[in-house]
Amino acid sequence: MFSLRLPNPDIILELLGRSNGKALIYDPSYESALSKSTVSTYVAVDTRAIDVEDVSLPLNEKGRNGDDTIMIFHTSGSTSGCPKLVPCSYAWWDFTIRKAQQVMKPKSSRRRQDVTVWMGSMCHIAQTFMLAGVIQHGSCTVQFTQQAFSSDELVDMIRRCGLTRINQFPTYLSRHIRASRRDPKLLALLQGLDD
């Protein structure tokens, strides 16, 4: 799985090669960008137009070694300028699911719906970790309009969507904290969050 936020398809193809990927499934809007692909490419099926009610995934009955790779994520590349591959083993993923259950446990003693904010691409482990925990608790997730959303958008998410916790990268979170020093209403809303 690769993020659409990567600057160009050459980086995706490079990561695919480094991970020994065999094929690429893509959205039809990216067809022209994949002319240099060295692996097989397949257009993703739009399941909204297909009746899939009676379709089920086959059971994964093969025994797996805990050290085998289940998924490969990637970093953003913000430090080195190039994303790095992050292979995850079955044992590591099993631990991650259990840890996410603990970390994302609703904290409110006010018995309100737990609502968190999206962190970013599912290709990055942070968002996948958060989603794994949210799903286990039946919590809700608000998707922002952009990753570096404004404090005004944060206020809207709290008031209109019932946001109870904010999980955001420090660079983005620090903007809201700085703004709250000048805005007592924003400060009060941030203080009212569970996390």
pLDDT in tens, 59-117: 776 667 899 888 888 777 767 777 888 889 999 999 999 999 999 998 866 678 899 99
Structure tokens at 80: 């080195």
Quote the domain boundaries for residue 143: 104-195
Question: Residue 91: what pLDDT?
Answer: 93
- The CB-based long-range contact list for 133-140 (8 Å cut-off, 24+ gap) reads 133/100, 133/101, 133/102, 133/103, 133/104, 133/105, 134/104, 136/97, 136/100, 136/101, 136/104, 137/101, 137/104, 137/105, 137/106, 139/104, 139/106, 139/113, 139/114, 139/115, 140/113, 140/114, 140/115, 140/116
Any domain includes 38: no
Structure tokens at 43: 């257009």
Any domain includes 170: yes
Max avg pLDDT among 6-15, 62-71, 136-145, 177-186: 177-186
22-54 pLDDT, tens digit each: 888 888 888 888 887 888 889 988 888 888 888
Question: Residue 63: what pLDDT?
Answer: 63
Q: How far apart are CA 105 and CA 107, in angstroms?
A: 6
Question: Among 2-11, 134-143, 157-166, 179-188, which stretch is predicted with the lowest mean pLDDT?
Answer: 2-11
Neighbours of 158 (CB within 10 A): 20
Any domain includes 44: no
The total domain count for the chain is 1
Any domain includes 143: yes
Structure tokens at 25: 């499934």
Any domain includes 60: no
Residue that has been written with the tokens 């970390």 in this structure = 103
Structure tokens at 53: 């009610």
Neighbours of 152 (CB within 10 A): 10
Any domain includes 179: yes
Structure tokens at 182: 């000048």
Any domain includes 3: no
Any domain includes 19: no
pTM for this prediction? 0.74
